[in-house]
Amino acid sequence: MDKKELIEKINQLKKEKNAIILAHTYQNLEIDEVADFSGDSLYLSRQAAKTDADIIVFAGVYFMAETAKILSPQKTVLLPNLSAGCAMADKINAEQLKTFKQQHPGVPVVCYVNSTADVKAESDVCCTSANAINVVKSLNSKEVLFVPDKHLGAYAESQLEGVKVITYSGYCPVHHTITPEDIERKKRLYPDAKVMVHPECPAEVTTKADFVGSTTAIIKAVKESSAKKFIIVTEKGVVQRLERDCPDKKFILINERAICSTMKLIHLEDILNALLHNQYEIDVDKQIAQKALKAINRMISINA
């Protein structure tokens, strides 16, 4: 099948099976052509919670599909490619989190949604890059444990007074390798460009930003800005969508390493096969799901 035929067949199957497709912003751009909703993890988590579809096809990575299943246990959740994982999520498991908690007894745990269901189940509340600051603040605690992303946890602490955020040692490999020198090089080439940074980047990078925010926040800020040039300090998918949506503006990717390889594993053929064969259904242990749901719902209620 050519691309047009693939899209037509996918849309036909969506109607026949009462399915929806959720696509993360870092996905291959072609996925947006069949997606019912596209955006960052907070937005997609909310859509997963309120959809009336019988089948959710999650064009993202494994932990996102798990979250959708936890929020909609009665629905079929499909991940089009089982190899689509998350290196950050792999940096901590439930046993490691239990040890971390034992080292800091009584301190509440904020868990970034970029984590597995069993880690969410051991946490008090989840957060995303869009709401980490509000979630940490909502706990009204002088100390908070933050897993697994040390950079997002440190950024949240920098934006709050009187809160010590004790971070785990995890990070996103895509954002972790971005350096201040990367920004300085781009600024020399584009001195009038605004620097838009994701908070998964190290502190020495976020402090050089004109704007720090989630993928959705970056996209919104760019669209509302009168500026015409932007250095995008996050994954390449954001640049691709901005180039599509804002052809009158120029976007500079921070470096060519800023690509999440597992996010790029899903293609239209994978989505078609998922719908045709109910392929790669995601399930979560009921006890783990019940505990994780409390942390997820607490996050959603904070941002209701």
pTM of the predicted model, to two decimals? 0.93
Give the model confidence (pLDDT) of 208-261 as tens digits. Answer: 999 999 999 999 999 999 999 999 999 999 999 999 999 999 999 999 999 999
**What pLDDT score does 6 carry?**
97
**What pLDDT score does 301 carry?**
87
**What pLDDT score does 180 carry?**
97
Residues with Cβ within 8 Å of 42's Cβ and at least 6 positions away in sequence, in order, are 113, 128, 129, 130, 131, 214, 216, 303
SS (H, E, C) 86-108: CCCHHHCCHHHHHHHHHHCCCCC
Q: Which two tokens stand for residue 7?
A: 């899209």
**What pLDDT score does 42 carry?**
72
113, 67 Cβ separation under 8 angstroms: yes
Q: Where in the chain is CATH 3.40.50.10800?
A: 3-84+263-284, 89-172+290-302, 178-253
**What pLDDT score does 302 carry?**
83
Give the model confidence (pLDDT) of 209-224 as tens digits. Answer: 999 999 999 999 999 9
**What pLDDT score does 303 carry?**
62
SS (H, E, C) 189-239: HCCCCEEEECCCCCHHHHCCCCEECCHHHHHHHHHHCCCCEEEEECCHHHH
From the candidate CATH numbers 3.40.50.10800, 3.40.50.300, 3.30.360.10, 2.40.340.10, the one assigned to the domain spanning 89-172+290-302: 3.40.50.10800
Give the model confidence (pLDDT) of 274-288 as tens digits. Answer: 999 999 999 999 999
281: amino acid identity, one letter: E
Give the model confidence (pLDDT) of 40-97 as tens digits. Answer: 877 887 787 788 899 999 999 999 999 999 999 999 999 999 999 999 999 999 999 9
62: amino acid identity, one letter: Y
Q: 178-253 architecture in CATH?
A: 3-Layer(aba) Sandwich (3.40)
Question: What is the CATH class of 3-84+263-284?
Answer: alpha beta
d(CA 51, CA 73): 12
pLDDT-derived band at 181 (thresholds 50, 70, 90) equals very high
Give the model confidence (pLDDT) of 122-166 as tens digits. Answer: 999 999 998 999 999 999 999 999 999 999 999 999 999 999 999
